[in-house]
Chains A and B, each alone.
Chain A
């Protein structure tokens, strides 16, 4: 039982490049989330999903897209990376009726 797995763990991108971050969970959770963590700003919600095939915008969605084609996977895409997207990205999942998240181990992304 791996919980929530994020890939990759580290990545350096050049401005304008694109990439996809993958989040996979094996707990049969309905809800999945993508947060970004920046110093002094806590964890801010980018996009989330309440079930397979559904996604919604969070607090800071601009510059990101997401897809939830399978219940266990939640993908975060950056179409044209900008230095402002340098951050640590955390995926999380929760079961309907649960009272807390299970976080992945994070992806440290640097855009130069």
Chain B
């Protein structure tokens, strides 16, 4: 089955700096890579995702890049703010050719991001 490794496990930055979290996956067939943010005591929520037919996707201060050859993908947060402090999870799954989801996400171990004011 799929295995997702996430690094670093903790990341501490100053407000305004950039933060980068990296994930590698094992199953070359995986083609859908979402990122979730989980605030303390809350449920995980989807913040951005990318499919394997694109190499990069941006949404305001966050972006995700994908390198299918190397089987890794990364989350980039620019101009970090204290409210970005949370646990971030990457995940991987296989979508079929028609775009419907097989639905099983395999998650990384999580990264605790702390943004210091």
Interface residues of A (CB under 8 A from B): 31, 33, 35, 40-45, 48, 50, 58-59, 90, 94, 96-101, 103-106
User: Is the beta-carbon distance between B107 and A44 smaller than 8 angstroms?
Assistant: yes
Closest chain B CB from A52 CB (angstroms): 15
The total of interchain contacts (Cβ-Cβ below 8 angstroms) comes to 59
Interface size class of B (residues with CB under 8 A): 20 to 34
Closest chain B CB from A46 CB (angstroms): 12
B117 CB–A CB distance under 8 Å: no
- A98-B101 CB under 8 A given contacts A90-B43, A90-B44, A103-B45: yes
In the complex, chain B residues 81-117 whose Cβ is within 8 Å of any chain A Cβ? 89, 95, 99-101, 103-110
User: Is the beta-carbon distance between A99 and B32 smaller than 8 angstroms?
Assistant: yes
Can you name 10 A-B pairs with beta carbons within 8 Å? A35-B107, A40-B9, A43-B44, A59-B106, A94-B103, A99-B49, A100-B34, A101-B44, A101-B105, A104-B43
User: Is the beta-carbon distance between A43 and B34 smaller than 8 angstroms?
Assistant: no
- A42-B110 CB under 8 A given contacts A100-B34, A103-B43, A103-B45: yes
- A106-B43 CB under 8 A given contacts A42-B108, A42-B109: yes
Closest chain A CB from B23 CB (angstroms): 11
User: Is the beta-carbon distance between B100 and A97 smaller than 8 angstroms?
Assistant: yes
* Among candidates B34, B95, B107, residue contacting A42 with C-beta atoms closer than 8 Å: B107
Q: Which residue of B lies closest to A106 (CB)?
A: B43
Closest chain A CB from B19 CB (angstroms): 18
In the complex, chain B residues 51-71 whose Cβ is within 8 Å of any chain A Cβ? 51
User: Is the beta-carbon distance between B103 and A50 smaller than 8 angstroms?
Assistant: yes
User: Is the beta-carbon distance between A99 and B104 smaller than 8 angstroms?
Assistant: no
User: Is the beta-carbon distance between A43 and B107 smaller than 8 angstroms?
Assistant: yes
List the A side residues contacting B95 at CB < 8 Å.
99
List the A side residues contacting B103 at CB < 8 Å.
31, 33, 48, 50, 94, 96
User: Is the beta-carbon distance between A99 and B101 smaller than 8 angstroms?
Assistant: yes
